[in-house]
Structure 1
Amino acid sequence: MKGWIDEPVVDPIVPEADRQKIIRMPVLVDGFPEPSSRTRLFFAVDGAVAGVIGAFLVGFAVQSGSQVAAILSIFSFVIAALFAGHARPGLAARMRRLYGDCCIFPADLDDNALGLIRRARKAIEIVSTSRVNRLGLLDDIANDVVLPERLWEIARLLRTQVALRAEQEEAMSEMVTPELVAVITPQREALDRSMISVTKQVVELEDYASRVQEADAALRAHELLKSNDKYRDLLARTDDAQGLQSLTEHVDMLESTLAENLRDAINAGQTLAVPGGAAAV
């Protein structure tokens, strides 16, 4: 599954223009591997050698008038430029240096963490594109401020959990001693509790999205009430007093249902704020 749902998660404090720069870079989205420091050193040395050869060929071409040397010097400089480009830190590394700890890339997470991020994003997408939201019937602060903050907090915790899990797996790949087990066991329990907590946050987002969908459905039904006059006229013409009474009762019930669904959706959105601004792992 690719597309917006696999974009990097960016801290809401990052300006929108910079956020767009981050998410529009396919190298970051796809999580291509970064070149190692040894690989970059190899390209740097080869680039310098190619540059020296190019400079020598330029001098030789000027003295001898050789066109072949001139052409070879151009190729040498092109190769030197290419090698110099590969010697630079990768795009993801440069972006991390530029934005610090303000973005989390798919490559930073494992499959389980990515699954939770996708679920959270899907729920937020449902809320954002709902009719009740577009009509301004929900809590604007919850949707515009709290939802991005909740997504960022979930991603931040998941990245920490993935790093700690990798640390534990590396430790357990070595000789397992009673002392190591004594250290790892409570750490794993803490990690499991943290994972349960993050999963609960995702479920809360999904519950909010479900309530918004219910409000959307009630709103669509409410809009169909505009056609009730035609049905009242039809029932009146057939002298169906009982049908008219039933239709009126359903109108009153639907009005109440819409109000209740909207109230439930707003209340669900207002409970999503991250306590204290951040959660602990």
Structure 2
Amino acid sequence: MDPRRRPPHLLIDPALPAPISSALRASPQALRAARLGQIPRRRGPDPVKVVAIAGLLLLMASLSATGGFIAVLVLISFSALRGLGNDPEGRRERRRVRVAMEHRDRFILPEDLDGGCGDLLRRTQDATETILSSEINRARLLDTIDNAVTLPDQTWRIARKLVRLSDMRAEHNRLVPGTPPPEVAEAFTPYVKALETAELSLTRRIRTLEEYARQVRKADGVYRAYLQLQVLAERTPRYEALVAETAEDSLALPGLEHLTEQAQQVKKLFHESIDEARDAARHLLTATDS
């Protein structure tokens, strides 16, 4: 695999209750076992330990002729063997697999997708993470949609469609493993076209999401500059005093006189970039509804 191509990461239905979501996320191995229908077997006692304990108890019994002491040894041996059969970690793992099997349609593993669909899901996840982690989103400046709810939901919907596309492509390739003879190739074209159309539609939706992320990144940069200028504006008198005290008249910086005007320009640019990001969000909603 191209090292620049990163696989998608585990995706869990955002509609799941938090405790179940956390339990699924905590054990990817259990999810893979559930996908294969494999519940770990209950492990019995370690034979080596059983033989060692039994031998020790027999030795102690042979050294004592007291019936009461033998009864105590039997009780001890029963408890010891029962303790050896204890497997708390195994029970936890079986419980995780059972939970995963109960919710097998509520999570998506990287291996559930073929290479092309995996790339598309990764692009979707990257765009969503860019938006949700942006400063302007954390500052609640993107009020067109509720990103914390809408974006995970859209990512999940796209991922489900990508899984279906992957499954249908795999089925198509099993049924039609090679190139059909030229005489009948046209009969297969609608099926191939249907798969291509589905991929194109999903790709367009993902590009809309990526455009939203791009606008958010741009607005984020302007927002940081805007905040920095606000801090500098409070320090303008100090800069003016520095120039007045140290520079000759011919070296004075006329730009300081226009600091307020320049700050206003950056503020205007910031609001424009926020508006562009909001417009991109509206286009995302339109693409989702269509």
Change (3 A) 1:196 1:233: farther
Listed as ranges, the gaps of 5+ residues in structure 2 are: 45-70
CA distance in 1, matches of 2:33, 2:139: 41
**Amino acid in structure 2 at the alignment position of 1:265:** A
CA distance in 1, matches of 2:17, 2:275: 32
Q: Secondary structure at the match of 2:285?
A: coil
Q: TM-score, normalised by structure 1?
A: 0.69
Q: What displacement does 1:161 show?
A: 0.7
Change (3 A) 1:220 1:12: same
Residues 204-238 of structure 1 deviation map (CA, whole Å, 9 limit, x = unaligned)? 22211111111111111111222131444456666
Q: Would the aligned equivalents of 2:30 and 2:100 in 1 still touch at CA under 8 Å?
A: no
Q: Would the aligned equivalents of 2:8 and 2:122 in 1 still touch at CA under 8 Å?
A: yes
CA distance in 2, matches of 1:119, 1:276: 16
Listed as ranges, the gaps of 5+ residues in structure 1 are: 48-64
CA distance in 1, matches of 2:100, 2:33: 14
**Alignment-derived partner of residue 243 in structure 1:** 255
Query: How many residue pairs align between the two structures?
Result: 247
Q: Is 1:192 matched up with 2:180?
A: no
Q: Would the aligned equivalents of 1:132 and 1:219 in 2 still touch at CA under 8 Å?
A: yes
Structure with greater Cα Rg: 2
**Alignment-derived partner of residue 163 in structure 2:** 159
Change (3 A) 1:28 1:199: farther
Q: Secondary structure at the match of 1:227?
A: helix
**Amino acid in structure 1 at the alignment position of 2:139:** L
Change (3 A) 1:205 1:235: farther
Q: Secondary structure at the match of 2:142?
A: coil
CA distance in 2, matches of 1:105, 1:28: 11
Q: 2:19 aligns with which of 13, 17, 20?
A: 17
Change (3 A) 1:143 1:36: closer
Q: What displacement does 1:117 show?
A: 1.5
CA distance in 2, matches of 1:191, 1:271: 25
CA distance in 2, matches of 1:19, 1:274: 29
Residues 55-79 of structure 1 deviation map (CA, whole Å, 9 limit, x = unaligned)? xxxxxxxxxx9x9xx99xx69x96x
Q: What displacement does 1:35 show?
A: 5.5
**Alignment-derived partner of residue 272 in structure 1:** 284
In the TM superposition, 1:133-152 aligns within 5 A as 133-139=137-143, 141-152=145-156
Q: Secondary structure at the match of 1:14?
A: coil
Q: Would the aligned equivalents of 1:137 and 1:262 in 2 still touch at CA under 8 Å?
A: yes
Change (3 A) 1:210 1:227: same
**Alignment-derived partner of residue 262 in structure 1:** 274
Q: Would the aligned equivalents of 2:205 and 2:287 in 1 still touch at CA under 8 Å?
A: no
CA distance in 2, matches of 1:175, 1:111: 21
CA distance in 2, matches of 1:33, 1:201: 31
**Alignment-derived partner of residue 124 in structure 1:** 128
CA distance in 2, matches of 1:175, 1:221: 57
**Amino acid in structure 2 at the alignment position of 1:27:** Q
Instruction: Give me the identity figure in percent.
Output: 29
Q: Would the aligned equivalents of 1:150 and 1:272 in 2 still touch at CA under 8 Å?
A: no
CA distance in 2, matches of 1:196, 1:174: 23
Q: Secondary structure at the match of 1:250?
A: helix
Choose between structure 1 and 2: higher helix proportion.
Answer: 1
Q: Secondary structure at the match of 1:121?
A: helix
Q: Would the aligned equivalents of 2:113 and 2:166 in 1 still touch at CA under 8 Å?
A: yes
Q: What displacement does 1:168 show?
A: 0.9
Q: Is 1:252 matched up with 2:234?
A: no
